[in-house]
Amino acid sequence: MILGMKKRPIEIGDLYKLVYLGDPQMSPDHQLISFTKKVVTKKHKYETQICTYSLKSKEIKQWTQGDKGNGMGRWSPDGKKLAFISGRDGGKAQIYLLAVDGGEASQLTHFPEGSLGGFKWSPDGTKMAVVFRETEKAFTEEAKKKRESEGGATPPLEIDTEWYREDGDGYFGNQRFRLYLVDAVSGEHSLLHKGSALGDYTFSWHPNGKELVVGFGEGKHPLRAPANDQFHRIKLDGTATKISDQPKGGKWGPQVSPDGKWLAYIGNVDETDGWGTRNSRIFLTSIDGGAPTCLTTDDIDFASGTLGDTKEPGAEFNLFWMPDGKSLISAFAKHGEEQIAQVGIDGKVKVLTKGDHVLIPGNLANDGSSIPVIYHSFEGPGELAMVHLKSGAINHLTDLNHDWKQSVEIAIPEAIWVDSTDGAKVQAWVVKPLGFKAGKKHAAILEIHGGPHAQYGKTFFHEFQVLAAQGYVVVFSNPRGSKGYGEEFCRAIFRSWGEKDWQDVQAVRDWMKAQTFIDKARLGVMGGSYGGYMTNWVIGHCHDFAGAITDRCVSNFVSMSGSSDYPLNPNGYFGGIAYGDLEDIKELWRQSPIAYFKGVKTPTLVIHSVGDLRCNIEQSEQVFYALKMQNVPSRFVRYPVETSHGLSRSGPPDLRMHRLNEIVTWWSKWLKG
């Protein structure tokens, strides 16, 4: 920025000017940190490249080229190679190798058309364990071209299981991810394990390099039963031995101790808690079997995430052994922050970092001295940083968004706490508009997050900044059901959506109405996913808002029970049975916003993606129908089948811009008119 240049308001088109960083990985010699850098091209495409930051020279080097996607850079144990996944081979994702001393990337694997779910080097660097799912033969590009040349029709997808689709992954039918072993020199692959009914593998190499510890859901039909993830020791010849005496429930991110004797993992022993209302804790068990010990008895969740529209996806379960085998390092979320903690095998938890930030860790340095992170804050998009574990100090390494940040006015959110019912306190933040004047009353928008078991927090939210630049006060909060405030706070809405959470939303609404700088006649409410659910609930239960926007919403749990990629278990998280009699349906209908839509008056914009497999578009179709039949001013924007539930965060850039334009236009009509 030129000295003296006036800063401008943030615009919708700034999506094309931001640099998004993710997946930091320290090299074995502690000299380089690899990371992904994503930008938007003029052709409305994301271009992701793998770069490195030199801790010695402070230089950034881009290692990959092209627009076919490059990601998941992982260092070989000797540090001489960097493996990564790319779709440059005619769109077929494969693993490639880059030599640190220079040269072009070479293709290692030659899997058939399909999806790569991840990989890990063996300790000696001679092999890789790879998760891969082959595409149904009838739906490969080769089969498609043959049909087109012969004038044939698209074949049907033949399905024999309730698990045949996933949002963002599409329809895969009966195909499953399987665990393969890959020779790190020849690239030849061999099947190691195919026993998981869902293909939900999570694994860790044993330090001896002769076996892996692999976790997956037990049984032929895991989606019909309570959660029961189990760990198995699998030798390189495929021989599997189950680790005995492990409780039921979800288990993720296994890590074998440096001496090979212990297994640590993040888990939830409540087998009925498929949606994560319980805190995920760190457990320790002998690799030879035996009842595990829970190391984290404090009220901290080690698997919660912070929402944002400029964050790259981070590892959901971060767990690393310190070299001496006496403690582990992990990240946790609390009060809108994400910090790094050290958990001793004696159960002592020490929080290592503090500050107004969200830290997304990569891997742990070999000597246990530090961990690279993507540092997120209210001040701008995430940048590469280093956390020094002994002192807790954070060393900021990159500032790739510097010029952009210097050119725009960023509105920093202010934290508040709002009293709700039952003594609950709700954390919220207020973003005041550019040109804010204390004596003036401003229109205000209440944003409600998705999940619901996640949190809003200290990340840069482009959408909020755009609205503040348009002159609105933006309020966002973490009502009951959110993570980061203890298990009781999160579990308060178990089998009772629309009760305690609604009470907290009302408390925040009432706070807004009481502020002298907010015009209570010009309030808007909006949200996506669960936020769309709660927006629907709000307009069905009050008329305090001049307008609403419901995005990728939930409206009817009876129909959603079978239309979501994760079907609702009978008498599960929500209670009730969708296909039963009226008594069975009662609980699902009681928690459905559409049940309260008679008399809705709030003008509402409905946004949804046809390709959304999490919250099927029929949920919004029901909302739009009910609005139109009651002559409520409404508009329905349907994004194409190529988009998914995550349109607002990772969808096509031009469609993300279109969505924001629709939002700004709607608020201009109903809050400024």
What integer pLDDT is reported at residue 114 of this predicted model?
Answer: 95
What is the b/e burial string over 326-342, where b = at least 16 CB atoms within 10 angstroms of the residue's CB?
Answer: ebbbbbbbbebbbbbbb
Rounded distance between C-alpha atoms, residue 355 and residue 336, angstroms: 11
Percent of the chain with pLDDT over 90: 91
What integer pLDDT is reported at residue 107 of this predicted model?
Answer: 96
Reported as a single tens digit per residue, the pLDDT across 411-420 is 999 999 999 9
What is the b/e burial string over 356-371, where b = at least 16 CB atoms within 10 angstroms of the residue's CB?
Answer: ebbbbbbbbbeebbbb
pLDDT-based confidence at residue 317 (cuts at 50, 70, 90): confident
For residue 314, pLDDT beyond 90: no
pLDDT-based confidence at residue 88 (cuts at 50, 70, 90): confident
Percent of the chain with pLDDT over 70: 98
Question: Is the CA virtual torsion 518, 481, 381, 389 positive or negative?
Answer: positive
Rounded distance between C-alpha atoms, residue 248 and residue 664, angstroms: 47
What integer pLDDT is reported at residue 3 of this predicted model?
Answer: 54
- What phi, psi does 487 have (nearest 5°)? -65, -40
What is the pLDDT averaged over residues 477-488?
Answer: 96
The 3-class secondary structure across 95-153, one letter per residue, is EEEEECCCCCCEECCCCCCEEEEEEEECCCCCEEEEEEEECCHHHCHHHHHHHHHHCCC
What is the pLDDT averaged over residues 473-496?
Answer: 96
Reported as a single tens digit per residue, the pLDDT across 187-203 is 999 999 998 999 999 99
For residue 49, pLDDT beyond 60: yes
Active-site residue, selected from the candidate residues 204, 482, 529, 620: 529
Rounded distance between C-alpha atoms, residue 378 and residue 32, angstroms: 27
Reported as a single tens digit per residue, the pLDDT across 465-474 is 999 999 999 9
pLDDT-based confidence at residue 297 (cuts at 50, 70, 90): confident
DSSP state of 669: H
For residue 650, pLDDT beyond 60: yes
| 371/92: higher pLDDT | 371
What integer pLDDT is reported at residue 91 of this predicted model?
Answer: 66
Residues 6+ apart with CB under 8 A from 195: 216, 240
For residue 113, pLDDT beyond 70: yes
Peptide bond just before 452 cis, omega within 30 deg: yes
What integer pLDDT is reported at residue 654 of this predicted model?
Answer: 97
Reported as a single tens digit per residue, the pLDDT across 239-282 is 999 999 999 999 999 999 999 999 999 999 888 888 889 999 99
pLDDT-based confidence at residue 69 (cuts at 50, 70, 90): confident
For residues 376 and 22, the answer to whether their CB atoms sit within 8 Å is: no
Is 529 tagged catalytic? yes
Active-site residue, selected from the candidate residues 206, 357, 449, 645: 645
For residue 2, pLDDT beyond 60: no
> What does the mean pLDDT of the chain come to?
95
What integer pLDDT is reported at residue 1 of this predicted model?
Answer: 47
What is the pLDDT averaged over residues 533-540?
Answer: 98
Reported as a single tens digit per residue, the pLDDT across 509-534 is 999 999 999 999 999 999 999 999 99
Rounded distance between C-alpha atoms, residue 672 and residue 341, angstroms: 46
Reported as a single tens digit per residue, the pLDDT across 612-626 is 999 999 999 999 999
Amino acid in the structure at residue 208: N
Domains of the chain are 412-556+592-671 (3.40.50.1820)
Rounded distance between C-alpha atoms, residue 619 and residue 579, angstroms: 17
What is the pLDDT averaged over residues 67-81?
Answer: 93
What is the pLDDT averaged over residues 543-571?
Answer: 96
Q: How many CB atoms lie within 10 A of CB 620?
A: 26
